[in-house]
Structure 1
Amino acid sequence: MSFSLYIAKRYLRSKSTNNAINFITYIAIIGVILGSASLFIVLSGFAGLKDFTLQFTSQVDPDLKAETAIGKSFILTDDEINKLNNLKDIAYYSKVVEERVFLASGDKNTLAVIKGVDEHFQNVVTIDSTLDHGNWLEQKSNQLVIGWGISNSLSLGVLDFTKPITVYVPKPGKGQITSTKNAFNSVNTISVGVFYINENLNDTYVYAPIDLSKHLLNYEPNQISSIEFRLKNEADETQAKDNIQAILGDKVILKNRAQLNDALYKMLNTENLAVYLIFTLVLIIAFFNVVGSLIMMMLDKKRSLNTLFNIGATVKDIRKIFFYQGTLIGVVGGLIGLGVALVIIALQKAFSLVMITPTLAYPVTLKIENFFIVFLTISILGIIASKIASVRITKSMVQHY
């Protein structure tokens, strides 16, 4: 152990004869402890909120999605289907037809997006878990599964044959529209289920059999809007993506789950960064107390510093004493704060101390990277604060008393 570090540890453990200096030192240490604990708790809270928010996207978003690169649809040939069936990384895939439609029931109407799916869709995403009531649709039928918001807007129930839902889609073509019959394709349907995912999806989507959607849009049998893939657990996403792209070519753009929710991921990451910067600012203010504490300690220890200088310690050695002392305050205070934060997070996970709603506890997630981020932040700020304070030591200060 170096001479400077040994003296720094002694100074850190010992009390000053001046109670005011002791009080300032305690305040500095408590500030570091509370700052580091707060930062880790908030980062864990945001990690929990991020996981909680993204769990809904995992219910309805596939591992990979092939979207048309040009226009609204593309042709999937039999040869491409056979090649996709032979890919080892793909567990399931579902063909999808998607388009904006107009829904009417009784005297109420609304705009929506119809998503026509085939019989494999339930294997690609866990859509069954989102059903609030009712059942999933059957293929070769006129059944719909609608969002909770749309169901509320149209005052619909489940299997209410007295209130059929008419789906309208504009017919493709050119020229002037002479009648509503010539302007729209339409079909009468019935709601068999209502899903609840989030407000945006609840107010936007209705699920339908793929053949019904193709009929409304006048699509050819092999014409689709997209393909959604579920990969095997051991599959390499990048390799699977390359293999699918090689089969489907440039007519599609492949996106993973993060890319499908690019705006959501950016928003969550931006919020997380903003909170980190705000609480780091709080820590910077706390370390001003550390600087003040070290400077007060220097003034209080002038006689001791003069003695150390006279027995051979250099100004550089004496500066190191207070540099190490400030760094130790930061590191030790940070570790204690992290320990306190871990206890609080464990209590929240075990006993749900803070609730969002009467039935939903505030989610928290422990992540090892957050632990290292907080510890690294505390260490860097401690080193900077210690350096600022230690350079106040001059030869004139320790040479004459």
Structure 2
Amino acid sequence: MPPFDVPEGDPFGPHNLPYGVFSPSGDSERRVGVRLGDQVLDAGAAAAALGSPHQALLARPTLNPLLAAGRATWTEVRSAVTSWVTDPAYRETLAPLFHPLSEVSLHLPFEVADYVDFYASEHHARNVGKVFRPDAADSLTPNWKHLPIGYHGRSGTVVVSGTDVVRPSGQRKGPADPAPVFGPSIRLDIEAEVGFVVGVPSEQGTPVALGDFREHVFGLFLLNDWSARDIQAWEYVPLGPFLGKSFSTSVAAWITPLDALEHARVAPPERTHPLLPYLDDAAPGIEPGGYDLRISVALNGEVISEPPFSAMYWTAAQQLAQMTVNGASLRTGDLYGSGTVSGPEERQRGSLLELTWNGRNPLELPDGKRAFLEDGDVVTLTAWAPGPDGIRVGLGEVTGRIVPSA
């Protein structure tokens, strides 16, 4: 099928056009690509062939220059690319610049600056609270309804989808163990999340307001923040996650620009506690901050969960405001994750910790029971969002295979 002839209703049609970085078969040079159906357009080569003023931004081995260019340029480039792939006048010129998706190598699409992971799902937070504090009067911590809780991750271990995940080793100690032991994690887990990438930086000392979210954030993507629950449980008091999280975070190869998700914007859940002004998304002039993303989690090809991102209590705009309210600056390539996405139903939980209730109720799968991940297991996250005229907007998948400790 010619690259322009995308089947009707394809979730990666011209209404979507996510950005990534690829190298063609037999060529190690990295290039900015735009996905159309099951094809990848060499965006830099297309810009050069058509005399685009944005050639310098697109003829690069990473998306960072485009991210830094700002919202007006993002809109111009998206409009241009949409025209290139839909106007018959460009077909003859651009046809040779497409590459079958199956024949290219996909790379980490941007250079990660800082990485912050949040804890923004009330359903996830309540489940975790019930698992670890079953006798508590409230499964949420006292601060949870007042601010988006987050922690710093490790940007150097963010990897692109398809990268193997080496089972981490570290200290662990069960409640009845007399002393900690060292060894491979035996409670390796997933966290189905959505990531956001910052394009335009901010000055240190200048917070980013809720209403400026779309001036700084370029797009979103699926993210799996792999978690070693046994290592985490022993280390996290009093300062929180460290080695139990920092060994690997997988992100999609395709970044969906926010402009492709206009039809997926929704209001977040009802706020049950008054919010301080810098987080108050009910204030006049603040647009809805939620996104209706339908996520599926598959373990060895079997769908085990379908978390709804629309159920997230804290929005990406509120998370950005919280990240910067103390004057912390943004950098191009800053990545922040939503935290585990979980819904109100058992089938909507975004981690094995919740799905198996900390291993007490293993999942029954065609290849056997699972409480936590075993070597050789493959986890794949996929998602879609409502688009124009009922067409779905597809998000790039995130997949990873567990391999034994080195």
Q: Report the TM-score range of the alignment, normalised by the length of the smaller protein.
A: under 0.3
Q: Which has the larger radius of gyration?
A: 1
The structure carrying a bigger helix percent of its residues is 1
The structure carrying a bigger strand percent of its residues is 2
TM-score scaled by length of structure 2? 0.18
